[in-house]
Structure 1
Amino acid sequence: MAKALCILLVVLMHCEFAYDNADWLYRAELKQAWHVMNEAIRPLRMPMFFLVSGLLASGSVMNPNRRSLQNRLHRPLYLYFLWGALLSWVLPVGFAPDVSDNIIIRLGMSIGLIATSSWYMLGLAIFFVFTKMTRGVSLIAVFFLCACLSAIGTIYQDMFVMHQSKLLRCLIFFVAGVRMRDQLFSLGDAASMSRTIAFGALFLIGSIALYGSDNYLLPVDLAAVVFGISLCRILVERKSLLRPARWLAQRTLPIYLLHFLMIPALAYLGTQILPQALLRSYWFGLIVPLLSLPVLIASSLIVHKLLMAAGATWLFDLPSRDRLANVPEWQPPSDGPAACAN
């Protein structure tokens, strides 16, 4: 449930940039409105995503084998460099320092300075190595180090070029997912409506306090993540939501990688087919990201299916992946507490 919720929030966040590619009358106002909403959700979105990623990688880190090393290190690194180059070429991202107009140099800097949109894949690889190297170290000491790195990311955020501060901020949540798997499941089992509301209120207060600062604080992230865990555990009890959430959670990789390309395409198509009355309506424009969300997910999955049918499996996995196909890797249970993570 949590993984499905996180990918929805990630896609919804990037829908903000669709206003740059469509002829909206209130383009600046609409983008600003969604930017405010996305900033309010920020303490939940990526910390929760990395927490779930840590939960799912826990067995691989604590009991590694050749396949886990391939899945958790080689694969995300490969996808980061591949999609980093592809996305930076198709959707150039402005960042400083801009030293050259040469496409090769710009792609290299985008990847090297972690300016590419596929930074989450790099985070998975780095965090896997970190947790594997520190698995014998006291959890309190590791958490203290992670908290210090988070503080550095907060205090010196303006000194980083692009996504480095996000990596520093989210490391502690991946570590928690790996090292505190059982405790987190127990926390989910103990979820109640009153606790969900209480931590939701703390999350909301923290988001309001940070409004306009373009920054984050670890206590607010923690409150948001506990709120997310409790909310997902409550939602899991609704069997009608569990099956589609699990279906979506199993397809987050192609959605994450492909939705970046779908957003400008959908925005351009909307400009061409929507009547001017809608393009000039502030209120319709305000709900466009919500309306676009299922379209972006569906189109990403359709394109993924077509690419796989065309034999482009190398876009989503290591070309030599099948060599270790019969080597088992730890998997979370299909039911019980882990259901809220899937």
Structure 2
Amino acid sequence: MASVDTATVSKQRIGWIDAAKGLTIILVVMEHTTFGVELALGELPAIFGTIAEFAKPFRMPLFFLVAGLFAHKALFGDWRKFVDGKIVHFAYFYVLWSVIQIGIKILVPHNVGWKVTYVDLLMIPIQPFAVLWFIYSLAMFFVTLRLLRSARPFFVFFFAVALYFTQLDTGWMLIDEFAWRFVWFVAGVYGAKQIFEIADWARARPARGLALALLLLTCLATVVFSHLIDVRALELLMGFAGGGAAVMLVSIVASKGLAGPLSFVGKHSLYIFLSFFLPMAATRMAMVKLGFENGDLITLVATTLAVISPILAFKIVEKTPLAFLYVRPDAFRLTASRKAAPNLMMAAGGD
């Protein structure tokens, strides 16, 4: 696998990237909404529960694969820019929104069994809270590959695969998630050229690309619903199969001009990722209290609002003192200020 400086890739070739990011963040929100609804109603929503189970093997692999596509410049560029963009940047949002989420769960009355205390605030540096482990893990992945940048890609990938098969279960999220997810980020970084070629091929031959993507998704569904996904090697293969199918499909859809909504969501993924939990939980609780019993309907409405609301929230606070919620202030920068990057995975790439 050879690295590729994706800054040299034409805009035409990467038009599908935002759509892939949009798909990923929607799957993330949907999965958390689905299991929140299950907790509230006592049963898993039939339709969205099935979708969540089907998407589980490739949802996070796709996220980290795409995050790694634009990492080359950061990994091999200036140290000061790297620390600012890949450590301070992620640390700022991680700490800020960890405090916000934990604070809300401590202060807001509830009857869902949340076990959140002030101890969770003290654990922020070593034990990520809720979905914010994504940000912490991205920073760790960048630091690790920066330190290993002189190593041969083959050996780094072999190391990442070996970690994957250790199936670590220490109870410490940072350690366990690193071992489980690092392989996908490495694949995105060192396999960027191949991933772009897959997208190019599917776009140039849409009928074949669609057929291959559907075949891969059929294999994925067969493995998932037969419970063979519990076999570690098959889980790894299905992660690549689902990720590859998603890349081909979004590339085809984007080339036909049909990926507008997904691309819009992808361009604002950072805002959504940071704050979707609040409208998601509020909508779910409100609908349950109002007597709604259809778990799929609750999941659909809550997911939709959880994706849209953070974008609207940013637009509202953008020019107010509350802009610090979504834009890192100059006081927390090591380099010159630049326009905010609303896209989480673009922020994960080059500077």
The yes-or-no answer on 1:9 pairing with 2:9 is no
Instruction: Tell me the CA shift for residue 254 of structure 1.
Output: 0.9
CA RMSD of aligned residues (A): 2.9
Q: CA deviation at 1:7?
A: 0.6
**Matched AA of 1:75:** H
- For residues 143-182 of structure 1, what are the structure 2 equivalents within 5 Å? 143-152=157-166, 154=167, 156-157=168-169, 159-162=170-173, 164-182=175-193
| Equivalent-residue separation in structure 2 for 1:143 and 1:238 (angstroms) | 34
Can you list the C-alpha shifts for 1:46-80, whole angstroms capped at 9, x where unaligned?
Answer: 11011111113232223345334312221112211
Tell me which moved more, 117-126 or 72-81.
72-81
> Which of the numbers 279, 297, 304 marks the counterpart of 1:287?
297
Q: In structure 1, what is the Cα distance between the partners aligned to 2:36 and 2:149? A: 42
Q: 1:16 to 1:304 in 2, by over 3 A?
A: same
Structure 1: which 5+ residue stretches go unaligned? 93-100, 329-342
State the Cα distance separating 1:21 from its structure 2 match.
7.8
Q: In the aligned structure 1, how far is the partner of 2:23 from the partner of 2:116?
A: 39
The one-letter code matched in structure 1 to 2:285 is Y
Paired residue for 1:262, among 276, 279, 286?
279
Shift of 1:32: 7.5
Contact 1:169/1:218 (<8 A) preserved? no
In structure 2, the CA distance between the partners of 1:210 and 1:309, relative to structure 1 (3 Å rule), is farther
Tell me how far apart the structure 2 counterparts of residues 163 and 37 of structure 1 sit (CA, whole Å). Answer: 27
Question: What letter corresponds to residue 302 of structure 2 in structure 1?
Answer: S
Taking the TM superposition and a 5 Å limit, the aligned residue runs for 1:271-282 are: 271-272=288-289, 274=290, 276=291, 279-280=292-293, 282=294
What aligned pairs does 1:64-79 form with structure 2 within 5 A after superposition?
64=78, 66-79=80-93
Stretch of structure 1 that moved more, 306-315 or 185-194: 306-315
Of the candidates 240, 244, 266, which is equivalent to residue 258 of structure 2? Answer: 240
Q: Distance in 1 between matches of 2:69 and 2:174?
A: 23
Distance 1:147 1:245, change over 3 A: same
Find the aligned partners of 1:34 and 1:193 in 2 and give their Cα distance.
Answer: 23
Aligned to 1:43: 57
Q: Is the 8 A contact 1:57 1:72 kept in 2?
A: no
Matched, 1:210 2:224: no
Residues 223 and 229 in structure 2, CA contact (< 8 A), matched pair in contact too: no
Runs (5+) with no aligned partner, structure 2: 1-18, 107-114, 203-208, 340-351
Q: 1:194 aligns with which of 211, 214, 217?
A: 211
How far apart are residue 270 of structure 1 and its match? 2.1
In the aligned structure 2, how far is the partner of 1:221 from the partner of 1:240? Answer: 25
Residues 290 and 327 from structure 1, CA distance in 2 versus in 1: closer, same or farther, beyond 3 angstroms? closer
Q: Is residue 58–residue 177 contact of structure 1 (8 Å, CA) maintained in 2? A: no
Number of aligned residue pairs: give it.
Answer: 305
What does residue 185 of structure 1 align with? 196
Instruction: Go from structure 1 to structure 2 and tell me whether the alpha carbon gap of 1:86 and 1:29 turns closer, same or farther (over 3 Å shift).
Output: same
Tell me, in whole angstroms, the C-alpha distance in 2 between the residues paired with 1:103 and 1:208: 38
Cα distance per residue 1:292-342 (max 9 Å; x no partner): 3222222222222233333223323432267734689xxxxxxxxxxxxxx
Q: Find the aligned partners of 1:264 and 1:84 in 2 and give their Cα distance.
A: 16
Residue of structure 2 in register with 1:219 after alignment: 237
Deviations 1:250-278 (A, max 9, x none): 21011011111111211233245x4x4xx
Paired residues of 1:75 and 1:317 also in contact (CA < 8 A): no
Q: Which residue of 2 aligns with 1:116?
A: 130
Cα deviation digits, residues 168-215 of structure 1 (max 9, x gap): 222111122222222210121122122212221222223224379598
Shift in alpha-carbon separation, 1:102–1:37, aligned structure 2, 3 A: closer
Report the AA paired with residue 204 of structure 1.
Answer: A
- Report what 2:317 is aligned to: 307
Percent identical: 23
In 2, the alpha carbon distance for the partners of 1:164 and 1:313 equals 33
Secondary structure of 1:219's counterpart equals helix
Give the Cα–Cα distance (whole angstroms) in 1 for the partners of residues 33 and 125 of structure 2.
23
TM-score normalised per structure 1: 0.79
Q: Distance in 2 between matches of 1:318 and 1:77?
A: 10
* Aligned counterparts of 2:322 and 2:131: Cα–Cα separation in 1: 21
| 1:318 to 1:300, Cα distance in 2 relative to 1, 3 A | closer
- Does residue 135 (structure 1) correspond to residue 149 (structure 2)? The answer is yes
* Other-structure match for 1:333: none
Aligned CA distance change for structure 1 residues 322 and 246 (closer, same or farther; 3 Å): farther
Q: Deviations over 1:15-71 (max 9, x none)?
A: 12442686xxxx122357744532321111111011111113232223345334312
Q: How far apart in 2 are the matches of 1:37 and 1:326?
A: 41
Partner of 1:96: none
Change (3 A) 1:287 1:164: farther
Q: SS where residue 88 of structure 1 aligns?
A: helix
